[in-house]
Structure 1
Amino acid sequence: MILLTGFEPFGGHSTNPSWLAAQEAAVRLRAEGFEAQAVELPCVFGEAIRVLESALEQHRPGLVICAGQAGGRPRISLERVAINCDDARIPDNAGNAPVDQPVVHGGPAAYFSTLPVKAALAALTAADIPAEVSQTAGTYVCNHVFYGLMHALRLRPGTRGGFVHVPYEPGQLPPGSSAPALPLEQQAEALAVVARTASATTADLRIAAGATH
C-alpha cells in the first residue's frame, strides 16, 4: 500500500496543489495496479501529525509520501532531512505560531528520509520534470509532518517514507506574477514517479545532488 498525503489550503490560498497532486497521483498509481490511497492533512501543528498517524494505522502502508506546497521554489523538492524544530513565520490554520519548539520532546535532532531521493531525482529528470534534492524542509507544518512521519515510522520496520515539496501551480498566481509555477499534471506525475521509483528501488543511487549553501 502506498499512502500519499497533501495539505489543505493555507496562507490565504483557496487551493493547495500538494493535495490535488496527491489525489491525482493516487488515481494514476491505482490505474497501474498499485494499491494507493490519498489523505488530506490539516495545516495545523499537532493535528496534522495526529491525522497522519491515524492514516498510518488505518491503511498500514509500506510506502508513505507526504507532500506540501513550497511557494516560490521552481522545482519538485525531494526533502532529505527533517529537523526537530517548529518555528512558524506565519500562524497555521488554527492560529498557532510556535517558536523554537521541538516537534517531539526528547526526540533526536533530525531524521533522514528513507525514500531513494537520488534515484527519484534521476527518474524525475528523465521524465523532464524539474527536480532537486533539498536539504531543508523549512520549520513550518511541512517539516513538522515530515519529522512526525519519520518518528512514527521508527516503530514500523519495513515501512519507508519521506517528504516532497511542490511549487505553486499556475492557477494560484495572480495575472502578471513572476513566481515560478509547475502545472498540476506535472506535479501529480512527479509524485507518481517518486512512488514508482521507491517501490522498485531498495538501494539509492550514489550521485551528486548536494548544495554549497
Structure 2
Amino acid sequence: MLTKILEKTLSGEGTFEAGLWKHLLWAEAIRNRKSNHDSNSVTWGFGPFGEHAVNASWIAVQELEKLGLGDDVDLHVYEVPVEYQTVQRLIPALWKKHSPQLVVHVGVSGMATTVTLEKCGHNVGYKGLDNCRFCPGSQCCVEGGPECIDSIIDMDAVSSRVSALGLDVTVTISKDAGRYLCDFTYYTSLYQSHGRSAFVHVPPLGKPYSAEQLGRALQAIIEEMLDVLEHSEDKINCQHEH
C-alpha cells in the first residue's frame, strides 16, 4: 500500500554562506521493518528562497512521489522552513514518531551538475544566516559532538549499482555537503539516527536534468540504499546468530 501525505509550511527569503547551496529540500525515505516487509517513507522539503523561484529538489521529490518506492513503502511528503531551530526540533520528532530504518534527505546545489551522494555530515562551521536571520551561536550542530559523522550506507556501492542501471543521469560521491542547512540537517539526522541517514544533492532543473530524470534517479538511489542497508543488516544478524 502506498500512502501519500503532503504537508506544506511557508518559507520566506533567506541568505546563505558563500551562495553554494541555493535552497534545500529534505526527502526522507523512512523504512520500518515489519513482519510483512511493509515500510514507510517520508519526504520533507524546503520551499523556494533567494534567487530560485523554483525548488528543483522539491520538484524532483514530487516526481518521486508520483513514481513511488514500491508496494512495501509508504511515501509521506513534507515541506519545512529553512531554519536551523526548526531542523533541530523536527528531526528528533520525526525519528521518535516513525522509528525508521533509514532517512534520506534531498537538497539542491546551485553548483552541482550531477546527482551527488553525500558520505558524511559536519558539526562545525555554520555561519550562514537562515530565513529568520539566525545561525547557531556556537556555529555547530551538536555541542561536544564528533567533528564528522559518516552514513552507514555504502555510498560507493549505491553509486556503482545505480550507474549500472543505465539511467541517463550521472551519480557522483561527495564528502562536503556545504556547511549550510543541507550539511546542518545531515549531521543532525546522522547524530540522531546513529548514522542511519543519507543525503542526496541534485542540480537545478535543466542543468542538465529534467524533473522526470531527477525523480527516476531518486527512486533508483533510495531503492538501492534500502537494499544495501537491508543486506548489510542481514549479514550482521547472521554473524550474531553464529
Class of the TM-score when normalised by the shorter of the 2 chains: 0.7 to 0.9
User: How far apart in 1 are the matches of 2:193 and 2:138?
Assistant: 24
TM (normalized to structure 2)?
A: 0.70
User: How far apart in 2 are the matches of 1:58 and 1:77?
Assistant: 28
- In the alignment, which residue of structure 1 is the partner of 2:197? 161
DSSP 3-state at the match of 2:224: helix
- Deviation string for 1:133-170 (max 9, x for gaps)? 0110010000000000011102xxxx821111111013
Bigger shift: 130-139 or 29-38?
A: 29-38
Alignment of 1:19-168 (within 5 A): 19-30=58-69, 32-89=71-128, 91-98=129-136, 101-126=139-164, 127-154=167-194, 160-168=196-204
User: How far apart in 1 are the matches of 2:51 and 2:209?
Assistant: 19
Shift of the alpha carbon at 1:66? Answer: 0.3
Shift of the alpha carbon at 1:34? Answer: 2.0
- In the alignment, which residue of structure 2 is the partner of 1:201? 228
TM (normalized to structure 1)?
A: 0.79
- In the alignment, which residue of structure 2 is the partner of 1:174? none
User: How far apart in 1 are the matches of 2:208 and 2:84?
Assistant: 26
CA gap 1:183/1:6 in 2 versus in 1, 3 angstroms: same
What is the aligned counterpart of 2:215 among 176, 183, 188?
A: 188
Q: Is the 8 A contact 2:161 2:224 kept in 1?
A: yes
Shift of the alpha carbon at 1:27? Answer: 3.5
User: How far apart in 2 are the matches of 1:42 and 1:188?
Assistant: 22
Q: Is the 8 A contact 1:87 1:99 kept in 2?
A: no
User: How far apart in 2 are the matches of 1:48 and 1:129?
Assistant: 30
Alignment RMSD (CA, Å): 2.3
Q: Which runs of 5+ in 1 are unaligned?
A: 171-179, 205-213
Give 1:51's aligned amino acid.
L
Identity of aligned residues (%): 27
Shift of the alpha carbon at 1:9? Answer: 1.7
Give the count of matched residue pairs: 190
CA gap 1:22/1:59 in 2 versus in 1, 3 angstroms: farther
- In the alignment, which residue of structure 1 is the partner of 2:55? 16
CA gap 1:114/1:38 in 2 versus in 1, 3 angstroms: farther
User: How far apart in 1 are the matches of 2:78 and 2:138?
Assistant: 28
